[in-house]
């Protein structure tokens, strides 16, 4: 039973485009949600926390839809350096449960 | 900016041997975690540690695994008798409530 699911991609996107990822979760009791970024063979790095009211940080916007049990990440004006795998995670019982990640490739 | 550090960066060991993976978390973090990531797969929670004891652990974290924070600085993960399927990246992290800061990982290869 997969608790957190993501489209593995890869998403091939031209530089400057807007790209959106969704992530669904199965545990309705999950308290908090996060987006992490992971470069190849590197550690995950926290990108954003996801609040019920949405969260925006520069070109990045994260939103939570509790009714449909998904979170989303929107990247505007994508840059080559945005190429990475984007992991969503839900916090349940003080444990982070991870999705498998969506690979994003930004092409010049 | 303070960072989480891990040593060694790569550990090769034979099946059945004990390994100790070391981490120095950021000093003002209160919760510490170990995760593993088998190549090409998702990050998996192993254990969380707070106030010098385990607060949560996953099904993966069986009797072969143990954690310690012996000197208030280093945070270690011990695998007593390694198996081939223990080959993975092992990440240490610190933080709280999902906002976690990861170390660069130790790649463990069991042969």
A77-88 pLDDT, tens per residue? 999 999 999 999
Q: pLDDT digits over B47-91, tens only?
A: 999 988 999 999 999 999 999 998 878 999 999 999 999 999 999
The vertex-B87 CA angle with B75 and A100, nearest 5°, equals 90
Facing A95 at nearest CB: one of B48, B101, B104: B48
What are the residue ranges in chain A where pLDDT is below 50? none
Find chain B residues with C-beta within 8 A of A33's C-beta: 98
B43-50/B10-13 β-pairing: unpaired
Contact A32 B41 (CB under 8 A): no
The token pair at B14 is 């034979």
Contact B45 A49 (CB under 8 A): no
Report the C-alpha gap between B7 and B17 in whole angstroms: 18
């Amino acid at each position: 039973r997969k608790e957190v699911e993501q489209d593995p991609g890869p998403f091939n996107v031209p530089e400057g485009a807007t790209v959106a990822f969704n992530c669904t979760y199965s545990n309705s009791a999950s308290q908090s949600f996060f987006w992490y970024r992971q470069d190849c063979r590197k550690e995950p790095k926290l990108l954003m926390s996801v609040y019920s009211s949405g969260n925006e940080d520069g070109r990045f916007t994260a939103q939570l839809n509790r009714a449909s049990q998904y979170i989303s990440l929107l990247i505007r004006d994508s840059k080559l350096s945005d190429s990475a795998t984007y992991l969503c995670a839900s916090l349940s019982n003080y444990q982070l449960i991870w999705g498998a990640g969506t690979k994003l490739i930004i092409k010049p | 900016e303070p960072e989480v550090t891990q040593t060694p960066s790569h550990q090769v060991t034979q099946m059945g041997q004990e390994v100790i993976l070391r981490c120095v978390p950021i000093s003002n973090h209160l919760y510490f975690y170990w995760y593993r990531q088998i190549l090409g797969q998702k990050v998996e929670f192993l254990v969380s540690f707070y106030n010098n004891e385990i607060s949560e652990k996953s099904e993966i974290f069986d009797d072969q695994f143990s954690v310690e924070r012996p000197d208030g600085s280093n945070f270690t993960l011990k695998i007593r008798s390694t198996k081939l399927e223990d080959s993975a990246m092992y990440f240490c992290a610190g933080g709280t409530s999902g906002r976690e800061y990861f170390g660069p990982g130790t790649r463990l290869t069991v042969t």
